[in-house]
Amino acid sequence: MKTPEGLKYAKTDEWVKVEGEEATIGISDYAQDQLSDVVYVELMVDEGDSVSKGDAVATIESVKAAADVNFPVSGTIIAINEDLAETPEVINSDPYEAGWMVKIKLDDPSELDDLMTAGAYESYNVEREG
Amino acid sequence: MFTPHTPQEIEDMLNAIGVGSIEELFVKVPEKHRFPELNLPEPLTEMEIAAELKEIASANASTDEFISFLGAGAYDHYIPAAVDMLLRRGEFYTAYTPYQPEISQGTLQAIFEFQSLMSELTGMDVSNASHYDGATAAAEAANLAYHFFRGKRKKVILSRAVNPQYRQTIRTYMQGLEEVEVLGDNTDKGKDVYSEEFLSLIDNDTAIVIVQYPDFFGRVIDYTKLVNIVHEQGALIAFVFNPTALGLLKPPGEFGADIAVGDGQPLGIPLSYGGPYLGIFTTKEKYVRKLAGRLVGETVDESANRAYVLTLTAREQHIRREKSTSNICTNQGLMALAATIYLSLLGKNGFKQVANLCYQKAHYAAEKISALDGYEVVFKDTPFFHEFVVQTPKPVGQINLHLQNHWILGGFNLSEDYPEMENQMLVAVTEKITKEDIDEFVEALQEDTND
Amino acid sequence: MTEKTIYELSQPGRVGVTFPEPDVPLTPSPMGFEREHLNLPELSELDVIRHFTNLSKLNYSINSGFYPLGSCTMKYNPKINEEAARMPGLANTHPFQPIVSVQGNLYIMYQLQEWLQEISGFHRVCLTPAAGAQGELVGALIIKNYHQKNNDTKRVKILIPDSAHGTNPATSSMSGFNVVPLQSDERGNVDIQALKSECDETLAGLMLTNPNTLGLFDENVEEVIQLVHSAGGLVYGDGANLNALLGIVRPGDLGFDVMHFNLHKTFSTPHGGGGPGSGPVGVAEHLNDYLPGPIVTIIEEGDEESPPFFGFYWPEKTVGRMKAFYGHFGMLIRAYTYIAMHGGKGLRNIAEMAVLNANYLKSQIKEDYTLPYDRTCMHEFVVEGSWDKVPAVHALDISKRLMDYGFHPPTNYFPLIVHEALMIEPTETESKQTLDAFAKAMKSIAKEARENPDLLHGAPFTTPIRRCDEVKAARDLVLCCWIPD
């Protein structure tokens, strides 16, 4: 399971990649593996929407499950990954690059402090597996 | 009878379980309420219940003995013998939802064929495996629209010419969505979708507009302009259709409908006093993810054989639980099968023939009735399919009592649902009605007027 | 083994059924509405008969074998039910006939209402809901309307045990409630402490399945109901598992406020390959006025000379109409027939034999499968479909392998609170010999899992088709067959 360094992770399995005031959001390799084959992604936001931490980003459906993805940070949507509608399987094959979901302009970078480092997220996953 | 256990077997089974009596299995049931004496009649044998039911049925007047001009959402069509012969196969009716595709291909392929036939009939992209009936399918259309717009659009607009019971059902279903407003059908103006009053309701807060085709009064309205008006506001439009009419008339898909729903009862399903019927739900591909109810899709098995499975199940309640848009889990499996067999049997030509017969006979009836003193066809400048409204010289209930003496079931009394339509009768004519039947009907009306 | 589709079998110009030529003067089609294309298949009657007969042979059914699909009550469907519903005097009646001309129908419906009330201990029953899920919706809307009429608008929360069917939470949110899951205790009962902590002034109600989906009768059911009532909430009973309670205990006597019946389960009106169901709803007296309509009532009492005269009424504070007309009348006739043939003692026998069968079958397989809750069950029980020693084998593999032994698998992966659940409901109509044969198959599969797990992964081998690619079905959506131009 890949957990790239340099990204921030939420307990609800979203990752955040910060570049200046902008952040890209997706779901972790661990999360896509739990879901198994993703067959559909519905993005619940549009460009220009302002969103708060905890709001729904997307719903992901696999054959056996459906999961909600929530914003781990607040901000304004500057881009959404339109390709996911046609190729949802990239969430499985490339969760950290092609599987990105939205880019936002951060409202409050201090919200990032609540998120985990790659190491902490890995330990958290080991703990969850029991 | 239906439990095979012998006393010896019961004893052996109790021993294997390790209890001394059947009663011991129920010790966790509160003693005070355990084993109530049920006050029910003594059991009947099969022979006795068969006789009793025959006796009960004889208290009814059925369309076997009576000529029926009743429609208003349920229609007396001829059902070819082969339909019921096939429905009676236990492999179909004693199976359940096809959760295990390896041993349910019969049900799955039949539903897949049903979906295909419904898409073709309505001119829409996709059909689901069916809903309970036309009324609940219409309610699910409103539900789909609400969820498609993620709750941002709050108005559900109904034409007053949509079946009154469908409108009531839609209102029941919308109770859970407290901010939704259902409107459009409360005044007489709501019967005309092109009235200024109706059109002025459609705006950017509108989730969906629901119309009927042919409408509840049998009228065939050109909705082309309405569809454009609704789409200009970014809203959806649903057509409630009668499937028989689509054998003759341009389908909802060609008007640009976003959703087309209807009751499939006319497709080989007996009247059965109102149910079980068949809710048809078809839509554009773009809305398929918000569609409630089961869907069957084509795929392959491990040996690359073509196979069918329930698909997009992650929309449904058993996975999504409180986040699913509907709680529906059954479909009308056996009724969908009936419609599939019916349309397969009639085929392209037979089905067109039925639609045309309904149309021709209804027009003959309308002409004969309008020639009677005191009777007049209402909306006479609007085309109709196989139902039309007649202004009668006295209350419809009274006329129908008189007709019953002539072994005729008269048309639907509109004043019960439409107070403004006093002394107006909705007359339906199907292929089963002969010219003689119509002439008899007209004579009986004439006789009643002369009384 | 695959069957062509009706469109692949179609031959242009072939005719199945024809109708008489019009016997009236012709009217031209309405201008501008003519249909140009209608591509229905063209088949002979024999083509159609063969096609659907062939399809039927690809199905597993109760008529062909044991179908222990937990929580679905796949009991034998008596054939007289089918004859009854097709009697021309009943089947060929129009829903808008004057009530004087359908007194036979109304008599059946009235009797069925009365009988369901007697069986369940509820005060009134409405027959209109089309299926169990719609009955649930009625229940949730009744709870909503009841609190609203009492101006108790803070009550927005519905509690649902974690063992519940998915329809319960879906119904609650569809009715505008917030859903709060309630955990189960180690004996499979509602956790009383968890319940107490949720009993506050926002509590609208609890949806409770009893016996629950573990097949267990809640040992504290009266206390659970009492707690909800004391907090001002109502208790909805999911009647999915009523088969276990016929003549054993009446949910109304236990204090439930409202419950749906599944006529297609408990009362043998068949499952129809997924429907039609039928989901009447019963209520305690304080909720009579909230039921949907129409409901059958006696308008004029009868006497020695003449029978009573039946009609319909709408309850005063009704939640509204659930569907067109009066419910699935054809299913109501079947349930009427079934109850009439059983009487009180016969119904109790159903529940007793259903519970006997479940406990017996449990005793026969518990050596080989883990029982997460090992106590006397009701009509069904749940085992774990996996073993620590063979981690690669899952409940799904066991299910698929059962098909090779000629059985329909149990319900898989439900309830969610049991790891790799297999939920087994034998029903009362199965014989000891059938149960023994099934137990033997289960044992044999457990042995195969230990010795040759790959065999299970490949199963089934003997079915018309093998395992399907469900990912492909969902990604490359094909919902409509090839239709020629």
Domain span at A37: 8-108
Of B33, B41, B163, which is closest to C253 when you measure between CB atoms? B33
pLDDT tens, position by position, C90-140: 999 999 999 999 999 999 999 999 999 999 999 999 999 999 999 999 999
Residues in chain C closer than 8 A to A129 (CB atoms): none
| Residue pair B431/B354 in contact by the 8 Å Cβ criterion | yes
Judge: C470–A88 Cβ closer than 8 Å, yes or no. Answer: no
Give the pLDDT of residue B420.
Answer: 96
Say which CATH number the domain at A33 has.
2.40.50.100
Tokens 């008529």: give the residue.
Answer: C63
Give the helix ranges, DSSP H, for C10-63: 45-56
Does C302 contact B at CB distance below 8 Å? no
Radius of gyration of chain A (CA): 14
A-to-C residue pairs, Cβ atoms closer than 8 angstroms? 12
pLDDT tens, position by position, C165-223: 889 999 999 999 999 999 999 999 999 999 999 999 999 999 999 999 999 999 999 99
What is the domain count for chain A? 1
| Residue pair C207/C172 in contact by the 8 Å Cβ criterion | yes
Taking the CA of residue A62 and the nearest CA in chain C, the distance in Å comes to 8
B-to-C residue pairs, Cβ atoms closer than 8 angstroms? 672
Q: Please tell me the class of the C81-341 domain.
A: alpha beta
Question: Which amino acid belongs to residue C334?
Answer: R
Does C146 contact B at CB distance below 8 Å? no
Query: Which homologous superfamily is B67-79+347-450 in?
Result: Aspartate Aminotransferase, domain 1 (3.90.1150.10)
Neighbours of chain B (3+ CB pairs under 8 A): A, C
Task: Identify the closest residue of chain B to A68 by CA–CA distance.
Answer: B323
Dihedral Cα C467, C470, C476, C480, nearest 10 deg? 80
The yes-or-no verdict on residue A130 having pLDDT over 70 is no
CA B403 to chain centre: 27
B7-14 long-range Cβ contacts below 8 angstroms, 24+ apart: B9/C431, B9/C432, B10/C356, B12/C432, B13/C356, B13/C357, B13/C359, B13/C360, B13/C432, B14/C356
Reading the block at residue C53, the tokens are: 């007969």
Taking the CA of residue A83 and the nearest CA in chain C, the distance in Å comes to 14
CA-to-CA dists, residue B216 to B221, B384, C133, angstroms = 11, 11, 28
Judge: B364–C25 Cβ closer than 8 Å, yes or no. Answer: yes
Q: Please tell me the class of the C355-470 domain.
A: alpha beta
ipTM score here? 0.97
A75-80 vs C281-283, strand pairing mode: unpaired
Domain definitions of chain C by residue range? 81-341, 355-470
pLDDT winner (highest mean) among B144-153, C27-36, C244-253: C244-253
Residues in chain B closer than 8 A to C170 (CB atoms): 317, 320-322, 324, 326-327
CA-to-CA dists, residue B304 to B101, B106, B298, B342, C237, angstroms = 14, 18, 12, 31, 45
Residues in chain A closer than 8 A to C474 (CB atoms): 39-40, 61, 63
Higher pLDDT, B319 or C261: C261
Judge: C471–A63 Cβ closer than 8 Å, yes or no. Answer: yes
Neighbours of chain A (3+ CB pairs under 8 A): B, C
pLDDT tens, position by position, C312-330: 999 999 999 999 999 999 9
Q: Output the CA torsion sign for B389, B392, B397, B399.
A: negative
Domain definitions of chain B by residue range? 67-79+347-450, 82-341
C124-126 vs C157-161, strand pairing mode: unpaired
Residues in chain C closer than 8 A to B351 (CB atoms): 38, 40
Tokens 């009893």: give the residue.
Answer: C210
CA angle C167, C277, C473 (to 5 degrees): 65
Mean pLDDT over the full length of chain C: 96
Tens-of-pLDDT digits for all 451 residues of chain B? 899 999 999 999 999 999 999 999 999 999 999 999 999 999 999 999 999 999 999 999 999 999 999 999 999 999 999 999 999 999 999 999 999 999 999 999 999 999 999 999 999 999 999 999 999 999 999 999 999 998 999 999 999 999 999 999 999 999 999 899 999 999 999 999 999 999 999 999 999 999 999 999 999 999 999 999 999 999 999 999 999 999 999 999 999 999 999 999 999 999 999 999 999 999 999 999 889 999 999 999 999 999 999 998 877 777 777 788 888 877 899 999 999 999 999 999 999 999 999 999 999 999 999 999 999 999 989 999 999 999 999 999 999 999 999 999 999 999 999 999 999 999 999 999 999 999 999 999 998 877 6
Give the pLDDT of residue B328.
Answer: 83
The Cα–Cα gap between C385 and C378 comes to: 20
> Which positions in chain B have a beta carbon within 8 angstroms of at least one beta carbon in chain A?
150, 289, 312-315, 319-320, 323
The Cα–Cα gap between C85 and C87 comes to: 6
Taking the CB of residue B166, how many other CB atoms lie within 10 A of it? 28
Taking the CA of residue B325 and the nearest CA in chain C, the distance in Å comes to 7
List B residues 281-300 in contact with C (Cβ-Cβ < 8 A): 288, 294-300
Give the pLDDT of residue A67.
Answer: 87
Tokens 């190729």: give the residue.
Answer: A87
Taking the CA of residue B304 and the nearest CA in chain C, the distance in Å comes to 9
The CATH architecture that domain B82-341 belongs to is 3-Layer(aba) Sandwich (3.40)
CA C198 to chain centre: 29
The yes-or-no verdict on residue C259 having pLDDT over 80 is yes
Does B179 contact C at CB distance below 8 Å? no
pLDDT tens, position by position, C435-478: 999 999 999 999 999 999 999 999 999 999 999 999 999 999 99
A75-80 vs A50-51, strand pairing mode: antiparallel
Taking the CA of residue C102 and the nearest CA in chain B, the distance in Å comes to 4
Give the pLDDT of residue A128.
Answer: 83
The Cα–Cα gap between A60 and A68 comes to: 6
